[in-house]
Structure 1
Amino acid sequence: MKNVLFIMCDQLRFDYLGCAGHPTLQTPNIDKLAARGVRFDKAYVQSPICGPSRMSFYTGRYVRSHGSTWNKFPLRVGEMTLGDHLSKLDVRTVLCGKTHMAADTEGMKRLGINPNSAIGVHISECGFEVWDRLDGLHPDGAQEPSHYNDYLRGLDYGGPNPWEQWANSAQGEKDDEILSGWLMSHADKPARIEEEDSETPYTTSRAIEFMEQSKDKSWCLHLSYIKPHWPYIVPAPYHDMYDKDDVIPVLRDEVEREDPHPLLEAYHQHRFSKVFCRDDVRERVIPAYMGLIKQIDDQIGRLMSYLEESGQLDETLIVFTSDHGDYLGDHWLGEKELFHEQSVKIPLIIVDPSKDADQSRGSVSDALIESIDLAPTFVDFFGGYVPDHILEGKSLLPHIRQNTAVERDFVISEYDYSSRLARSLLKKSVKDCRLTMVYDGRYKLIHVEGYRPMLYDLNEDPQEFHDLGASAEHAGIRENLLSHLFDWARQHHNRVTISDDEIDKRAGMEFFRGIQIGFWDQEEVNQAHKEGRGGN
């Protein structure tokens, strides 16, 4: 029986893993996955922020196709998701953790769909069967029902919001003093919660519960951790495993602030960018970030031990990835959202249990990969037909099993900054805050609506310090990348109700239904019938 374990971290940088070359962060369990599978070194998300990125993972479609362009912008009713594609193959598609899904309640209301009905719940949960949804970020006491908060209350973690007051806060010197994990000054302190009750072990335990109870039918389990996303605070013993000596040097240069692109200059004014420009902040936050990753790695070890002991390891395709990265002060920026490698590039490891994949085990691929490639990979793994008029990615199984090249000349990523301070600083309308990245493996161009593009040469400038967007010498490069972008934009993105094959079959068939257009006389009609061809 085939299964898929689809593991996603939140805000995990591609280079914060041992197997990716981090000098001090040891991730032996994730490294073992890389040794058993393929690590893709050039994998990119379709949007460098949680919501749109995840909607592309779940639909297998670009952001311009599914329309959910920022966090909590609803995924419209009718968009097919993993659950829709895999249910046809008799596979359960199950969530344990985060999705950042926002339901299209207006769309359901317009169509008369009861949100509490089976189809309404399916739509509201992005096509997942919810085992345990934990999106995190409940500073007001959990706006959405939280099984995790109920779990903590059952363990006598008191207060109106145990998620914040225990899992994401530290203990002050006084018994009644709680130090909020939202404040970066507390990142070096242990979270108040016992480690085994914190978010990452909890989500792992719930995932194991599902797998233990679900051996009678194939499944795709989306195990979606909410860390190492902020708040940057981690329970003991992970809070002090790393210190400022483990913080790798910041990647930024004063040249980036000398006549910067207007959008980059605006992002430098964001609070989260200004705070990460401080060395003392990085020295306090990044060790906690590393501790959160180390905790995830230990939980990956738990998962693999369970799969092996339960006899499911050799029948389960395992994917390990992230929804985007984290600047952590690089390029004078915090958070994510723009298109430097630290933000848009992700870790991606795929372990295929098939014997056909033995030839690629332990390899590192430099093929250009997009996050939308996972949905068709899963359909392919379960033996299904990949509907390429809907799923815009490419199955990676031929690459893994037969070393077939991934046919892609460039990758695309999109972002909508209309919800950010940058829009006000630049005095832009909501509809004009669109960014699109096109990257061909060497040159990365960012098209900025209303401004000149940005351009980076990652061969000559791998740190992406020097913006060539106004360089006369690189005008031809910009023109070539813009032509790639134009080619991509002209593709079919919304014809999802009929496939290319069906169109091909229908071509000319109106003639055989008696619609005889363009004929002079009956003799021509008879001849067309005799030759078995349509009249178009």
Structure 2
Amino acid sequence: MTKRPNILLIMTDQQRWDTLGCYGNEVIETANLDWIAAEGTVFDCAYSSTPSCIPARASLMTGMDPWNTGILGMGRGQGPMRCLEHTLPEQLAKAGYHTQGVGKMHFHPQRSLFGFHHTVLDESGRQGDPGFISDYRRWFEQNKTGDYGFTDHGIDWNSWMARPYHAPEFLHPTNWTVNESIRFVQNRDPGKPFFLKMSFARPHSPYDAPAFYYDIYEKKDMPAPHLGDWSAMHNVRKDAAKPDAWRGKRSDEEIRRARIGYYGNIHHIDLQIGRLLMYLKKIGQFDNTLIMFTSDHGDMMGDHHLWRKTYAYEGSAHIPLIVKLPKAANGSPVERSAAPVCLQDIMPTLLDAAGVTIPDSVDGRSMLPLIRGEASGWREFVHGEHSTCYSEEQEMQYVTDGRWKYIWFPRLGTEQLFDLASDPGECVDLAASEAYAAETNRWREKLVAVLAERNVDLTSNGDLVCQAGKPPIVSPKYKERLERMDAAQ
């Protein structure tokens, strides 16, 4: 039997796809991730099917589409990430892996393991369970060098504000996450391959890069936000006034500072990732480790006067995805793949690479054939969605192949079409153009075909049905899973 590889799954929180050098960004410095990209395969059209934390991570953990996890967003009618079955760490643990989760998990209850042998948590400010204190916060309080708290930078967890980190760099959660990851590799069971999910809480706000990294980008020309011919609808002054605004235009300097802090956080993460990679090389485990890097979703960063996530737009839904196979894997990987992939594909890919049976519950597909250059028979497009969250008008459904993107807003009954090849910033909405009527119809039909199978009045007679004034769509799969697991206990 071929020796099973170690598996290192590196995940950032809220990192948009275009913030790595290997994706063409010439401003940011991401030397370590660019190195991993050069050793492996870069997926150019990777998407988050439900671009917010809980639903995206549920799909990654189970390989299931959002409809089947039962979590369609973080809005009305949607539940927390609980009672997950047949998870990635569970299947790997059963196959003999030593499994560890470090950083942000977003589980419910927060100390749930869902197949991990152990977790060491940084849940930012979340205290979902009575008396819960994250491992990072407890460590911070024990090791701080003065009379200050871990949120004394004064920035909200979903704010557009930015400033340099207020405490010594060694106390930053990014450093802590890598410290704990190295500690696990040092103390793991040496008789087993390991699965480590190293999950950073940044670059998600607060945009609080340590001063060294903040200063680098303060001196650079930062990219301006994309503004479309349709963006004015989100330039709402009352909404923009909020410290945690989901939309609205802030000043050019405030937008620039947000991007400085965001880029600085990513640069910081990259150098810290390098510490773990160097340690793996030092102990002779780098070549036998499959390394995958991704994020749960992106961050609009002021594009189209929007902030945060949950949207179908590229800044929110398009994510980075890099895979480096272990040295012993057969064949030479392709450098890039343009196939449309999603977070559901991560679990079957890792199980396939480890020689572990993929559960029937998985909707995603192994990307190993794509890495080998075998793209025939792959899906034509990715479907994504998000329930009502910040406002009813931003509930959305989308389909994309990375070349075209069609978006439908169920509560508004409106649609958009973008030619991503010529307009990657989604600045020109083609849906109302007579010249693109056939293309709009073609993509609308694809979405209708996906939603018609649900039989929940989202479609009728081959068309989409406006949901204005109706209760939120809730998948029955969530309740079914809870009832099934309650009955088994």
In the superposition, the TM-score normalised over structure 1's length comes to 0.76
Q: Check conservation: 2:32, 2:271, Cα contact below 8 A.
A: yes
Amino acid at match of 2:33: I
Match of 2:301 among 320, 323, 328: 328
Q: Are residues 297 and 143 of structure 1, via their aligned partners in 2, closer, same or farther at CA, if it must alter by over 3 Å? A: farther
CA 275–239 in structure 1, closer or farther in 2 if over 3 Å, else same = farther
Question: In the alignment, residue 40 of structure 1 is paired with which amino acid?
Answer: F
- Tell me how far 1:349 sits from its aligned partner: 0.6
C-alpha deviations, 1:65-120, integer Å up to 9, x for none? 1012334832353533213322332223321011222349xxxxxxxxxxxxxxxx
Distance in 2 of aligned mates of 1:87 and 1:141: 26
Whether contact under 8 Å (1:5, 1:319) holds in the other structure is yes
Matched letter for residue 85 of structure 2: E
AA matched with 1:381: A
Q: Does 1:478 align with 2:440?
A: yes
Q: Map of 1:350-499 to 2, 5 A cutoff?
A: 350-356=323-329, 358-360=331-333, 363-387=335-359, 389-401=360-372, 403-405=374-376, 407-417=378-388, 419-420=389-390, 422-423=391-392, 434-450=395-411, 451-489=413-451
Q: Is residue 14–residue 297 contact of structure 2 (8 Å, CA) maintained in 1?
A: yes
The code of the aligned residue for 2:346 comes to L
Contact 1:413 1:438 in 2 (8 A): yes
| 2:117 aligned partner, one-letter code | E
Residue pair 1:133, 1:147 contacting (<8 A) in 2 also: yes
Cross-structure match for 2:194: 219
Residues 462 and 24 of structure 1: is their aligned pair in 2 closer, same or farther, counting only changes over 3 Å?
closer
What is the CA-CA distance between 1:241 and the residue it aligns to?
1.5
Counterpart contact for 1:357–1:401, Cα < 8 Å: no
Q: Are 1:279 and 2:252 counterparts?
A: yes
Q: Which of 150, 169, 178 in structure 2 is aligned with 1:163?
A: 150
Structure 2 counterparts to residues 173-212 of structure 1, below 5 A: 179-180=154-155, 187-188=162-163, 190-212=164-186
Alpha-carbon distance between aligned partners in 1 of 2:31 and 2:294, rounded to the nearest angstrom: 16
1:145: which partner in 2? 133
1:54 alignment counterpart: 57
Greater mean deviation of Cα atoms: 30-39 or 67-76: 67-76
Helix, strand or coil for the counterpart of 2:271? Answer: helix
- Give the corresponding residue for 1:509: none
Q: Provide the C-alpha distance between the structure 2 equivalents of 1:406 and 1:222, rounded to a whole number of angstroms.
A: 30
Paired residue secondary structure (1:319): strand
User: What is the count of residue pairs matched by the alignment?
Assistant: 447
- Greater helix share, 1 or 2? 1
Shift of 1:358: 5.0
Matched-pair contact (CA < 8 Å) for 1:95–1:222:
yes
- Aligned partners of 2:54 and 2:80 also within 8 Å: no
SS at match of 1:162: coil
8 Å CA contact retained: 1:14, 1:345 = yes
How far 1:51 sits from its partner (Å)?
A: 1.1
Corresponding residue of 2:469: none
Residue aligning to 2:457: none
Task: Indicate the structure (1 or 2) with the bigger Cα radius of gyration.
Answer: 1
What runs of 5+ residues in structure 1 fail to find an aligned partner? 105-120, 170-178, 427-432, 497-536
Deviation of the 1:384 alpha carbon: 1.7
Q: Distance in 2 between matches of 1:183 and 1:490?
A: 35
Provide the TM-score with structure 2 as the length reference.
0.83
SS of 1:245's partner is coil
Q: Which has the higher contact order (CA 8 A, sep 6+)?
A: 2
The answer on whether the counterparts of 1:228 and 1:289 sit within 8 Å (CA) in structure 2 is: yes
Structure 1 residues 143 and 46: alpha-carbon distance in aligned structure 2, compared to 1, 3 A threshold? farther
Contact 1:59 1:81 in 2 (8 A): yes
Q: Deviations over 1:177-226 (max 9, x none)?
A: xx5576979734x3232212211111101001111111221222110000
Give the drift of 1:133: 1.2
Following the alignment from structure 1 to structure 2, what is the Cα–Cα distance between the partners of residues 268 and 20? 35
Structure 1 Cα separation of the partners of residues 218 and 62 of structure 2: 40
What is the Cα deviation at residue 267 of structure 1?
11
1:86 aligns with 2:100: no
RMSD of aligned residue pairs (Cα, Å): 3.0
Amino acid in the other structure paired with 1:102: H
Q: Secondary structure at the match of 1:292?
A: helix
| Partner residue in 2 for 1:343 | 316
Q: C-alpha separation between the residues in 1 aligned to 2:349 and 2:158?
A: 40
Indicate how the Cα distance of structure 1 residues 302 and 74 shifts in structure 2: closer, same or farther if over 3 A, else same.
same
2:485 aligned residue: none
1:47 CA displacement: 1.1
In structure 2, the partner of 1:242 is 217
CA contact (8 A) 1:8 1:222 kept: yes
What is the SS of the residue equivalent to 1:193?
Answer: coil
Q: State, as a whole percentage, how many aligned pairs show the same letter.
A: 32
Residues 1:90 and 1:268: Cα distance change in structure 2 (over 3 Å): farther
Assess, with a 3 A threshold, how the Cα gap between structure 1 residues 480 and 93 changes in structure 2: closer, same or farther.
Answer: farther
* SS of match in other structure, 2:323: strand
**1:292 maps to 2:261:** no
| 1:282 to partner: Cα distance | 1.5
Letter in 1 for 2:140: L
Contact residue 73 and residue 102 of structure 1 kept, 8 A: no
User: Partner of 1:501 in structure 2?
Assistant: none
Structure 1: how far apart are the matches of 2:33 and 2:271?
9
SS of the counterpart of 2:151? Answer: helix
Aligned-partner Cα distance in 2 for 1:390–1:141: 29
Q: CA 1:305–1:66 in structure 2 vs 1: closer, same or farther (change >3 Å)?
A: same
Q: Distance in 1 between matches of 2:248 and 2:61?
A: 33
With over 3 angstroms needed to count, the CA separation of the structure-2 counterparts of 1:243 and 1:150, relative to structure 1, is: same
Is the contact between residue 48 and residue 343 of structure 1 (CA under 8 Å) also seen in structure 2? yes
Matches of 1:28 and 1:141 in 2, distance apart?
A: 39
Deviation at 1:281, TM superposition (A): 0.6
2:205 is matched with 230
1:117 is matched with which residue? none
Task: Encode CA deviations 1:414-438: one digit per residue, 9 max, x unaligned.
Answer: 1012x32x22xx5xxxxxx852111
Cα contact 2:9–2:292 (8 A) shared by 1: yes
